[in-house]
Structure 1
Amino acid sequence: MRNILLLICFALMSSFIQGQEILGDWYGSLQIQGTKLPLVFHIKKQDSSYSTTMDSPKQMAIGLPVAITTVENSQLLLEAPAMGIKYTGEYDHTQEIIAGTFQQGGLKLALNLSRDNFTTAINRPQEPKEPFPYHAEEVRFYNESDDISLAGTLTTPEGLEKFPVVILISGSGPQNRNEEIMGHKPFLLISDFLTRHGIAVLRYDDRGVGKSEGEYATATSKDLSRDTEAAITYLKSRKDLKISKLGLIGHSEGGIIAPMIASKSKDVDFIVLLAGAVLRGKDLLLLQKKLIEEKSGIHDSIVNRSQEVFHGAYELIASNTKTNDALKEDLAAYFKEETNNSINAAQTNSLIESMTSPWMQYFINYDPTTALKEVDIPILALFGKKDVQVPAIENALALEKLENKNIEIFQMENLNHLFQESETGMPNEYSEIEQTMSPKVLNLMLEWILERD
């Protein structure tokens, strides 16, 4: 999920650069404490200027905008002052490389960029390939409340007069209809698997992504739930579809959104929660932070102090009744005092901007059990036991305490947040694992849905 606070954040954007040879995709990796952090820069020309977006695949950050780019002769300078980031490089047109240095705060690392696409060698054996034994249709539907049109793919089984249909709801961050991440396309896999076995599936690009309209950056989980509601309305309007049951499958943040909708809609017959958070947002963020820092080998004293500091920051946000600017000032003063002014202004500003976004403020305050208590339809809740983003034990326990007899809970051995079979469960494994999703999860979902049809 996007709420994990990692040591390095990126947000870079290009305004001008000389030479047509610089256009296209550039690949490189930072070496950080023995670990590779791959980066991809996408440079395009728009009218008389240039634009760039950046991907940090291991951090699940795709399409990050760039702030400042300048070029003088063969020298390239990238700066993101708000985060204290600076990259200087020299373009060598004979070798087609940019040799340079990446800096953030006191960190200074070599970063050389080339045309060598390290993602092309990634093997994804589960990715579905055409031809498909079912009908796939490009569709558009309208969210009247927000006045935006969303685009997706509806797959329907062949040869069946009547069938159940599910809508897939993606996790946090701007996602396309396949929930594509690090070369994996889990929603394409789920859609293909279920449709081959008689279940229709609608998956769609998040607002502001792909072919969908709208702006993702200012959206909260509540806002995104209206997009899913629009998808339900669309399916119900399709008189040519003989729908036996309609369900929602939500992954990560999607597992928060599904109960929001199901708690008040009579059109939803069942929901499947894949690593859907049950803990209140601020509690989940602290737990994520603790587990990831512990697994990263950070000393206990630092982990404990970090918990104290961020608990206080989240409480400030949760109890805030002031303007956003006033909240930012309060947080700046808080971090200055709690860290003895050991974090520079650029790093503090970057952290505060992330913590005060509309999405984050909503998430910190939101309690998923509010909606889950009101859901009176069948719920299948799956958790991966090695998940460090939505930890299984704590969230399953919170779900059990609701004593809702409609909920079936499964904690799956050795599975991470993406439901891959994993060693550590840490996010840096996601791209390295060839498996997109464990067949155990796919089969369990299929059997459970068909039993309710």
Structure 2
Amino acid sequence: MKRYTIGLTTMLLLGFLFSGMANAQEQDLTGNWSGKITLPTGELEMIFKITHNDGKYEAKMDVPKQGATNVPVGDVLVIGDSVSIAVPVIMGNYSGNFSTPDSVTGKWKQNGMSFDVNLVRIGEVAPLQRPQTPEPPFPYLSEQVEYINPESGLKLAGTITIPKDAKACPAVVMIKGSGAQDRDETIFGHKPFAVIADYLTRNGIAVLRVDDRGIGGSEGSVSSSTSLDFVSDVVAGVEFLKDRKEINPKKIGLIGHSEGGLIAPIAATKSQDVAFIVMMAGPGTVGEQILYEQAALIAKAAGLPDLSIKQQKLTQQKIFDVLKSEPDTAKAKEKLRETLSQGMYAGMNDSMKKAIDAEISNVNSTWFRFFLTYDPKPTLAKVKCPALALNGAKDLQVPVSNLAAIIKAVNSGANMNVDTVRFANHNHLFQNCETGSTAEYSQIKETIDPEVLKTMKDWIVKQTKK
């Protein structure tokens, strides 16, 4: 799931993947500058793109290894030969001195930690290569649409792609993973849902993909919602498709990725108009168990020793115990502060307090509390429509073991029309990969393996020809 919270230690590490920094040199700061932070998981390059506008310096940051581009940077100040950059969005700052016209020596500070970072002027920044991202002109209709979720009253905005001259064609509603995401499920420069929509529509299947609440043209807020709220958004999408003359209202299905694979079965039990579901790396067991497995797999892939992994799980267990036993979020916040600081919160500096409070804000949210305790098995047992579950064997976020749990749960409800496919060399994004590590996502040019696309298409065509 693009991305469950996985414990304080790991979150602190991940925080640096997107930490902001900029550089300055007294005489000429314009240009691109590269600097590296050394972390336990290896070196992390950050590129700072400096411009000079209206008498002041402005900066954007790229983190190529993580696929992050044009991350906003705060004030860039130069006094004599010294450089100071504040990045309030992640509570970090850089300070240094230029040593030559093309290099700056300094330190990056964040969350009470300090790292030596030397910046070197470089040439042009190579763009990310994403050859599968579809570009117009398209051999199908692509239309920007809006509709209202009658249950919430919120406006939802998205894109519908429909085969040319379509008459009563099958269709799918796409359901994204966790976190606030756009209609393309953009991640690390990849646009998986745009790629899926393009492929399916070229093969006769209409696709509706929609911005999450509070993103793009959609109203509402993801942070104050749960998976159950998103179910009503999905059902509203099905209702919208039923009114399109090009679409067969009896052949509308759902494709959910990660958390979307949790939402799709719920929606299928709420609406009799859902003809089939496809779960891409969807969960088959309770959220708490997935979070333990996810954190351990990611930490192991990052090279952390077994002792650190065990300690991380103990910290997770303490956090989860508080969340499960204390429904009052304000009281839970105080208990979590005590737990995560080992009773030393009051004596910590502001940076350390902010780091702990940021972690608490993630896990104490409405969404996380629901996911932690939600068990998808009873819902899967109620699914009566055909179901397809896919998983990569190298998925570190939703382990492939979930496939067995899914098919067992669906079969327990007397539904035998369920298929599972295990892709031996694939990660959570269904890319061919080496290790499955999240650090690989941005480094892989492939957005999604064409064989995965064909598998989904062939299965949907088979179901909708009946």
In which range does the TM-score fall when normalised by the shorter chain? 0.7 to 0.9
Q: 2:439 aligns with which of 424, 428, 431?
A: 428
- Which ranges of structure 1 fall in alignment gaps of 5 or more residues? 15-20
C-alpha separation between the residues in 1 aligned to 2:37 and 2:134?
A: 32
Q: Which residue of 2 aligns with 1:17?
A: none
**More divergent stretch after superposition (218-227 vs 276-285):** 218-227
- How far apart, in 1, do the equivalents of 2:157 and 2:120 lie? 34
Secondary structure, aligned partner of 1:360 = helix
Amino acid at match of 2:231: S
Q: Corresponding residue for 1:328? A: 333
The reply on whether 1:226 has 2:232 as its aligned counterpart is yes
8 Å Cα contact 1:169-1:248 kept in structure 2:
yes
* Aligned-pair CA distance for 1:218: 2.6
Instruction: Work out the CA distance in 1 between the residues paired with 2:98 and 2:241.
Output: 52
Distance 1:40 1:233, change over 3 A: farther
The one of 381, 384, 408 aligned to 2:389: 381
* Aligned equivalent of 1:126, options 132, 156, 171: 132
Paired position in structure 2 for 1:449: 460
Which residue identity does 1:433 align to in structure 2?
A: I
Residue 327 of structure 1 deviates from its aligned partner by: 0.3
Residue 420 of structure 1, CA deviation: 0.5
Residues 396-436 of structure 1: CA deviation (Å, up to 9, x unaligned): 22223313423211111110000001100000001111111
Q: Does 2:345 match 1:337?
A: no
Q: Secondary structure of 1:436's partner? A: coil
User: Structure 1: how far apart are the matches of 2:365 and 2:120?
Assistant: 31
In structure 1, what is the Cα distance between the partners aligned to 2:455 and 2:260?
Answer: 19
1:370 aligns with 2:381: no
User: Is the counterpart of residue 30 in structure 1 residue 40 in structure 2?
Assistant: no
Alignment of 1:59-208 (within 5 A): 71=77, 75-80=83-88, 85-88=92-95, 101-104=107-110, 105-110=112-117, 112=119, 118=125, 120=127, 122-208=128-214
How far did 1:450 drift? 0.3
Is 1:398 matched up with 2:405?
yes
Query: Percent identity, aligned pairs only?
Result: 37
Structure 1 counterpart of 2:429, from 406, 418, 425 = 418
Q: What is the deviation of 1:345?
A: 3.4
Q: 1:35 to 1:284 in 2, by over 3 A?
A: same
Match of 1:277 in 2: 283
Question: Aligned equivalents of 1:294 and 1:430: distance in 2?
Answer: 17
- Separation in structure 1 between the aligned mates of residue 267 and residue 88 of structure 2, nearest angstrom: 39
Cα distance, 1:370 vs structure 2 = 3.0
Answer whether contact 2:252 2:275 (CA < 8 A) is retained: yes
Distance change in 2, residues 1:300/1:52 (3 Å): same
Would the alpha carbon gap of residues 335 and 101 (structure 1) be closer, same or farther in structure 2, given more than 3 Å must change?
Answer: same
Shift in Å, 1:299: 1.4
Structure 2 CA distance for aligned equivalents of residues 339 and 419 of structure 1: 43
In 2, the alpha carbon distance for the partners of 1:13 and 1:407 equals: 46
Q: Secondary structure at the match of 2:308?
A: helix
Where in structure 2 are there 5+ consecutive unaligned residues? Answer: 22-27
**How many Å separate the matches in 1 of 2:438 and 2:184?**
19
Q: 1:304-352 CA distances to partner (integer Å, 9 max, x unpaired)?
A: 1221221121122122222x12101111112233999999434322322
Q: Which letter does structure 1 place at the counterpart of 2:442?
A: S
Shift of 1:58: 5.4
Counterpart code for 1:400? I
Aligned mates of 1:407, 1:346 — CA distance in 2? 46
**What TM-score comes out, normalization by structure 1 length?**
0.84
AA aligned to 1:256 is: L
In structure 2, relative to structure 1, the CA distance for the partners of 1:440 and 1:38 (3 Å cut) is same
TM superposition shift of 1:269:
0.4
Counterpart-to-counterpart distance in 2, 1:31 and 1:53: 21
Deviating more after overlay: 270-279 vs 33-42? 33-42
SS at match of 1:337: coil
Aligned residue pairs, count: 443
Q: Residues of 1 paired with 2:437 and 2:423: CA distance?
A: 16
Instruction: Give the letter aligned to residue 279 of structure 1.
Output: T
Distance 1:432 1:12, change over 3 A: closer
State how far apart, in whole Å, the 2-side matches of 1:139 and 1:164 are: 18
Determine if contact 2:41/2:302 at 8 Å carries over to the other structure. no
Q: Which residue is equivalent to 2:4?
A: 3
**Contact 1:133/1:158 (8 A) holds in 2:** yes
Tell me the equivalent position of 1:267: 273
CA contact 2:175–2:260 (8 Å) conserved in 1: yes
Inter-CA distance 419–222: structure 2 relative to 1 (3 Å threshold) = same
The aligned counterpart of 2:24 is: none
Distance 1:288 1:412, change over 3 A: same
Moved more, 270-279 or 368-377: 368-377
